[in-house]
């Protein structure tokens, strides 16, 4: 099959389009023909080998995958060739106390497609049957690939961890990112008022189209002061944080009394400085969040099928242009997801 692999860590130039052996599914796995694979910032971290090399080389990146079943292992009896599926990116053991209690994203063996094992920058991928979910019929393959990781992450952050309530005010950093565009929609679905941060008039307009009530250009505006003005000095109930070092202090300071900061990432760095006085004096909560469970993905997909949550696709490129796709993501030129399409044969 054709695939894009990294043989060394570095810039986009290390992404090599080449012919590699087809994966062979195990008895409890399915072989999927990849029709679309969406990029995530995780792909950039692993390509660069940051903060430390985390994948064996050579390696196929790509966590967000949609495609068609080609073959099923002998223990799989409910999927057949031709079935359209999206793949839950998180792989777990299925046996530990966390997996059996529906918290598989806390499993000690938890890893992601494209990180702990080969992913979707390829024509074919082999995955556990438990990770294959029938594709919502109303989505193209490119749209379907834009759903799993970001919507699951944002759902776990806002619904499970922060427990957003109707009428609360939620601030979302990086509204133009995949996870940010998902978070706007989920927060509105929960009945919250959304303040989003992005840059540029075009991205501001798109954030409003997704449901943001107010949008701040973080490049030209004092975000903290703007949030205080918009909330009458009170602050927001929840901050949706995934930027890290560059935004951490402002995220803490903009919270109202009893507010919750929920974080899933650190694209700008991991050394966030916290003024502890704000935490105890305002009785704040700082909540870590990592991916989400298989059950949560199954819970949110009906909202996607109903059109209440919509994947946002910025661009679709052929697989051999993976390096250009990485450059788009790193330049922050996109609004939503960048998707790769492998060749059909």
Lookup: tokens for 303:
């909202």
Exposed, middle or buried: residue 94 (CB in 10 Å: 0-12, 13-18, 19+)?
A: middle
pLDDT in tens, 179-235: 999 999 999 999 999 999 999 999 999 999 999 999 999 999 999 999 999 999 999
pLDDT in tens, 46-66: 999 987 777 889 999 999 999
Asked whether residue 172 carries a pLDDT value surpassing 90, the answer given is: yes
Q: Is the pTM of this model over 0.85?
A: yes
The yes or no reply on domain 151-288 and CATH 3.90.180.10 is yes
Q: Which CATH superfamily is domain 2-146+311-341 in?
A: Medium-chain alcohol dehydrogenases, catalytic domain (3.90.180.10)
pLDDT score recorded for residue 234: 97
User: pLDDT-based confidence at 245, cuts 50/70/90?
Assistant: confident
Cβ atoms of 311 and 86 closer than 8 Å: no
Q: Note whether 2-146+311-341 and 151-288 share their fold.
A: yes
pLDDT score recorded for residue 55: 82
pLDDT score recorded for residue 143: 98
Average pLDDT over residues 318-339: 96
Strands 337-341 and 313-318: parallel
Average pLDDT over residues 255-274: 90
Asked whether residue 271 carries a pLDDT value surpassing 90, the answer given is: no
**Residue 90, helix vs strand vs coil:** strand
pLDDT in tens, 92-147: 999 999 999 999 999 999 999 999 899 999 999 999 999 999 999 999 999 999 99
HEC string of 130-184? HHEEECCCCCCHHHHHCCHHHHHHHHHHHHHHCCCCCCCEEEECCCCCHHHHHHH
Could you tell me the residue ranges of all domains in the chain?
2-146+311-341, 151-288
List of residues 6+ apart from 182 with CB closer than 8 A: 150, 151, 153, 154, 155, 309, 311
């Amino acid at each position: 099959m054709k695939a894009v692999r990294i043989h060394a860590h570095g810039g986009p130039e290390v992404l090599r389009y080449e012919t590699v052996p087809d994966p062979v599914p195990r008895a409890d796995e399915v072989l999927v023909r990849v029709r679309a694979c969406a990029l995530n910032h995780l792909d950039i971290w692993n390509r660069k080998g940051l903060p430390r090399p985390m994948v064996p080389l050579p390696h196929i990146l790509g966590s967000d995958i949609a495609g068609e079943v080609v073959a099923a292992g002998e223990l799989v009896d409910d999927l057949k060739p031709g079935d359209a599926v999206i793949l839950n990116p998180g792989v777990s053991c299925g046996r530990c106390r966390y997996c059996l209690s529906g918290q598989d994203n806390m499993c000690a063996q938890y890893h992601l497609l494209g990180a702990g094992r080969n992913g979707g920058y390829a024509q074919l991928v082999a995955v556990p049957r438990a990770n294959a979910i029938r594709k919502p019929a109303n989505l193209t393959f490119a749209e379907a690939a834009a759903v799993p990781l970001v919507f699951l992450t944002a759902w776990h952050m806002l619904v499970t961890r922060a427990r957003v309530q109707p009428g609360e005010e939620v601030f979302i950093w990086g509204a133009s990112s995949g996870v940010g565009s998902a978070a706007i929609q989920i927060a509105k679905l929960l009945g919250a008022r959304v303040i989003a941060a992005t840059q540029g008039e075009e991205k501001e307009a798109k954030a409003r189209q997704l449901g943001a009530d107010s949008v701040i250009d973080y490049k030209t505006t004092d975000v903290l002061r703007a949030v205080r003005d918009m909330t009458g000095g009170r602050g927001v109930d929840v901050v949706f944080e995934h930027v890290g070092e560059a935004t951490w202090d402002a995220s803490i300071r903009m919270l109202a009394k009893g507010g919750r900061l929920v974080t899933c990432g650190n694209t700008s760095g991991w050394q966030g400085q916290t003024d502890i006085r704000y935490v105890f004096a305002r009785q704040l909560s700082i909540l870590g969040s990592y991916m989400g469970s298989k059950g949560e993905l199954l819970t949110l997909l009906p909202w996607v099928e109903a059109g209440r949550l919509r994947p946002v696709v910025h661009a679709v490129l052929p697989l051999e242009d993976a390096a250009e796709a990485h450059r788009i993501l790193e330049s922050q030129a996109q609004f939503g997801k960048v998707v790769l399409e492998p060749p059909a044969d």
